Amino acid sequence: MFPISKFDWNGFAYPIPVMKPFEAAALADQILRFQHVEPEKAARAFGTNTHLLFPSLCAVIQREQILDAVEQVLGRNLLLWSASFFIKRPKTNSFVSWHQDSTYWGLEPPEIVTAWLALTPSNRENGCMEVVPGSHLRGQVSHYDTFGDENMLSRGQKVSVDISQEKTEAIELEAGQMSLHHVRIFHGSKPNPTDIPRIGFAMRFIPTQVKQKGGRTFAVLVRGQDVFNNFDRPTLPRAELGATEWEMHQESLKRMNTVLFNDAAQATKVKGHQILKTGEQFSPEKKKAEEQ
């Protein structure tokens, strides 16, 4: 057991129950079906800030069970800065190199917690997340970018530490459970050689006093009050994948990429982190209007 009461010491906590397994399975099913039917569109949608495209996911980021846990670590005034999917389909090579989240996010101070919600079972066999307990106390460590093809991180960034010499912990979760991790914890995950998909929804929470360096990004006020106004408020989705929703999503990515890639040697290879080109969009309403 790694309880929330020991979060400051360990840098992570799990397992924390959030929803019933059947609820998680229904969300996972929706995602996998969408990926199967419209792979290109799904690749764009299930990268970063998917909560701006789906009302159902916007409800997830505001769930009481999640916020109650995050509040125990960060206090009662909470913003959701971003949310990303990490989907490993069965028998695929996608992996996450060992890294610290704080490396490129430009958020200060580093009081940021990720709530990683498992929508399918996530275990050693199908490539669950692994951490180095206590590594968040080592400060910011240098990283190098690999831009590896199968790496799920936007720059394929890797911490300059020999992880084979470290004691690691595999965060095994049932569908509907989540873990919390500190923005400076060393973490990563291996590929999924099994027949079981591994789907995680990673929600990044910050207390309202945190500041964004390098630009102004969006954040949703999910609990308490914000007297600092360090972030703009996004328009929350009313329809699934509607034209307005895509516009908001793209604007949020644009702003985020200004911060995350300002010193990057090359553009990201991760589809879900790329901004759509001018004229390229997925809104059926807009497409129809243009065709007429």
Residues of this chain that bind ligand AKG (CB under 6 A): 86, 96, 101, 114, 116, 129, 187, 189, 200, 202
Exposed, middle or buried by CB within 10 Å (0-12, 13-18, 19+), for 213? exposed
Indicate the residue among 212 and 241 with the shorter CB distance to ligand AKG: 212
User: Is-contact 42 272, C-beta < 8 A?
Assistant: no
Give the other-Cβ count within 10 Å of 28's Cβ: 19
What's the closest the beta carbon of residue 200 comes to ligand AKG, in angstroms? 4
Cβ distance to ligand AKG smaller for residue 141 or 243: 141
**Nearest-approach distance from CB 281 to ligand AKG, in angstroms:** 28
Q: Smaller CB distance to ligand AKG: residue 241 or 253?
A: 253
Token pair 């595999």: residue? 170
Which of 110, 111, 104, 113 has its CA nearest to residue 214? 104
Rounded least distance, CB 189 to ligand AKG, Å: 3
Minimal distance, residue 92 CB to ligand AKG, in Å: 13
Please state, in angstroms and rounded to a whole number, the distance separating the CA atoms of residues 218 and 235.
10
CB nearer to ligand AKG: pick between 191 and 215: 191
**Shortest Å, Cβ 21 to ligand AKG:** 19
Instruction: Indicate the pairing of strand 78-88 with strand 157-159.
Output: unpaired
* String of DSSP letters for 253-285: HHHHHHHHTTT-SS----GGGSPPPTT----HH
- Kindly state the smallest distance separating residue 100's Cβ from ligand AKG, in Å: 9
Residue among 74 and 96 whose Cβ is closer to ligand AKG: 96
Query: Which lies closer to ligand AKG via its Cβ, residue 170 or residue 243?
Result: 170
| Cβ partners under 8 Å of residue 77, min gap 6 | 207, 208, 209, 223, 224, 225, 226
